[in-house]
Structure 1
Amino acid sequence: MKFRNLLLILLLALTFQVKAQQPTLLPQFTFYRLDGKAFSNTDIKQGKKNLFILFDCTCEHCQRESKILNTNYAKFKDVNIYMITMDEGYIIPQFFDSYAKGLNAKPNVLVLQDKKRMFIPTFLPKQYPSMYLYSPAGKLLMYQSGDGGINKLMKVVNK
């Protein structure tokens, strides 16, 4: 009986440890454009690297990282950028006007809402902002979170 309990505890520990790692392949997802239309894996523009950024409009780290991304946009112009938030639609334009003016209007940037709160259990971020750079084939190239993520991503985005 004790052996079986120990085995169960070890199995649970391994399961939780595996779940704590970021997905190495782009997971299936459905988020929503600001006009309410669904956006999923099948809608990704093919042939480019894909950068997924989970942000919160009130997060100071997210505000700084978005400003750095906007300032260094030229280094990311050949990457599909998907900025995902759980915030309500009314605050999102204010965020971009205040911290990354015009970034949300760039041709390769799409702002999405996570209305069903699926990003966190699917991508397993550690903190805001969380940034996932995937290859065109959907393989995770780099994961970053918190301050300094955009600067680190700039070093690998064009490799």
Structure 2
Amino acid sequence: MKKTNLIILITVLIGGAAYFGYLTQIGTPAEAAITLTAPSELPNFTLNNINGKATSIHAAAGDKPTLFIYYNSTCHLCQEELGEISKRIEEFEDYNIILTTVQPMEEMIDFANGLGIKDKNNVHFLLDSEMKVASYYQVRSVPSIYVYDGKKQLVAEYVGITKIELLLEKLGAD
């Protein structure tokens, strides 16, 4: 009887550990885009940049493939994702990166300074103080990541941590 209970307990523990391992894998770096629900064209809202200057999203994107990320600096997933991008920022030099948040300007500036990419020409921090962009995209979770080609057409969208290689692949698909 004790042996049977021990076998059942070990089986349950191994099964639970395997299931937990599976859940942690599906909750980490995205492997494939979910069904595209974001706007098929990059919207052209005008928001204040990190210097307080009104900047249109289209002007920031220019005619280059663009990585548009909606984030919150207090979100650990956003910190991790944007930290990885900042470490590999040279690989994004042919693309524009637009980082948008609803947080107060001071918090956006502090976060941008911490990332060390604030002064890169291809990186644009924009403040969505009225939540127009968040409402338009129906952002429910951050980081929300959208990849647009040079013609401002949606290529892929992701929620949560996404592998840098996948983002670079989708940006280069133009």
1:75 aligns with 2:91: yes
Residue 141 of structure 1 aligns with which residue?
A: 155
Residue 107 of structure 1 aligns with which residue?
A: 121
SS at match of 1:67: helix
Q: What is the deviation of 1:126?
A: 3.8
Unaligned 5+ runs, structure 1: 1-19
1:63 aligns with 2:79: yes
Residue 129 of structure 1 aligns with which residue?
A: 143
Within the candidate set 134, 143, 148, 1:120 is matched to: 134
Q: What is the deviation of 1:140?
A: 0.2
User: Cα–Cα, structure 1 residues 28 and 131, in superposed 2: closer, same or farther, change >3 Å?
Assistant: same
Q: What is the deviation of 1:150?
A: 3.7
Query: Quick one: distance in 1 between partners of 2:110 and 2:38?
Result: 30
Q: Contact (CA 8 Å) 2:50, 2:108: kept in 1 or not?
A: no
Unaligned 5+ runs, structure 2: 1-35
Residue range with higher mean Cα deviation, 59-68 or 123-132: 123-132
Residue 168 of structure 2 aligns with which residue?
A: 154
Q: Any idea what the Cα deviations from partners look like across 1:61-101, whole Å, max 9, x if unmatched? A: 11000111011212211111111111111122322344x2x
Fraction of identical pairs, as percent: 28
Residue 31 of structure 2 aligns with which residue?
A: none
Query: Quick one: distance in 1 between partners of 2:58 and 2:169?
Result: 28
**How well do the aligned residues superpose, as a CA RMSD in angstroms?**
1.9
Q: What is the deviation of 1:105?
A: 1.4
Q: What is the deviation of 1:156?
A: 2.0
Residue range with higher mean Cα deviation, 24-33 or 112-121: 24-33
Q: Contact (CA 8 Å) 2:77, 2:160: kept in 1 or not?
A: yes
TM-score normalised by structure 2 residue count: 0.71
Within the candidate set 53, 56, 59, 1:40 is matched to: 56
User: Cα–Cα, structure 1 residues 64 and 41, in superposed 2: closer, same or farther, change >3 Å?
Assistant: closer
Which of 1 and 2 has greater Rg?
2
TM-score normalised by structure 1 residue count: 0.77
